[in-house]
Amino acid sequence: MRSMTGYSKISYQDSSFIIGMEIKSVNNKNLNLKVKIPNSLNSLENKIRSIVGSRISRGSIDLRISFEDRRDIENLYEYDEKICESYLNVLNKMEKDLEGNFSNKIDYLVNNFNVIKKKEQNSNDYEEIIEEQLKVLLDSFILFKEEEGNRLREYFKERVIFIEKNLEIIKKHKEEVVEIYKEKLVKRLDRIKEEIEFSEKDILKEILLFTDKSDISEEVSRLESHLKQLRIELSSNSKTIGKKIDFILQEMFRELNTMGVKSNSYDISKLVVECKAEIEKIREQAMNIE
């Protein structure tokens, strides 16, 4: 289990390159990857996105990469010989025609005509290093997310145990509901038997009707099934675990709502409210599961 919240930062340096990488994320329904890189790495952006996307399935992610090329400056820059020659010919002609002299034609050439440019670099020179360092960054990042995910897993298990305990109490109370209603019905009928005629058949019919309306056996059974499935998912490392947990919680909440309406018992209703509160706690934190 991974949390969608994570952070990692690394730096790398050798005789040729200085590389810094930082990644952080928060929860999001889908993968939303923002990449900030220097222009010199633009040719690698799609590859970078592909690598991150292959290892992270959900979350809003910010990835920043800094890159400095430290190789010999003589090998990084060049001047356009033909353009320089053309400009110098013009400057020489101007001196001749105007009978004057430039104080420093080379300075004038460099400062005004942009004849020195950075060489086009082959990304193969540093692509492998970038990919290696990105893997190191993602390994650390995923470890952070898994550690946070494991803390959430334990928190969820505690909430599940609480709900299971309440459900066991609900199962005991549901057997008492009909008996309590029967006793109350008989007492009420004893008080009004002189005013209203009724038969034992009428009483039985009323009790059976109440039993049918207040029976929560199916809801209890389905809730037990959902809790079992939730435990399975909490032990899973599936990439879609967050979405699955959210679906199971919705089903559990639906069963508890029905129980609360049908039970006709204050004790059961109170336990149902407590269970729903625990589900809300799980749901709130489950939004942060990848």
Q: Domain spanning 6-70+124-143 has what CATH number? A: 3.30.230
**Beta pairing class for 116-118 and 77-79:** antiparallel
The predicted structure's pLDDT at residue 102: 80
Here the tokens at position 188 are 């009420």
CA distance 214 to 269: 12
The predicted structure's pLDDT at residue 111: 79
Nearest Cα neighbor of 254 from 290, 283, 286 is 283
Residue 140 has pLDDT above 80, yes or no: yes
The predicted structure's pLDDT at residue 93: 87
Query: Domains of the chain: which residue ranges?
Result: 6-70+124-143, 81-114, 146-286
pTM: 0.67
pLDDT in tens, 55-101: 998 899 999 999 988 775 556 677 778 888 888 888 888 888 888 88
Arithmetic mean of pLDDT over the chain: 85
Q: Answer whether 89's CB lies under 8 Å from 50's CB.
A: no
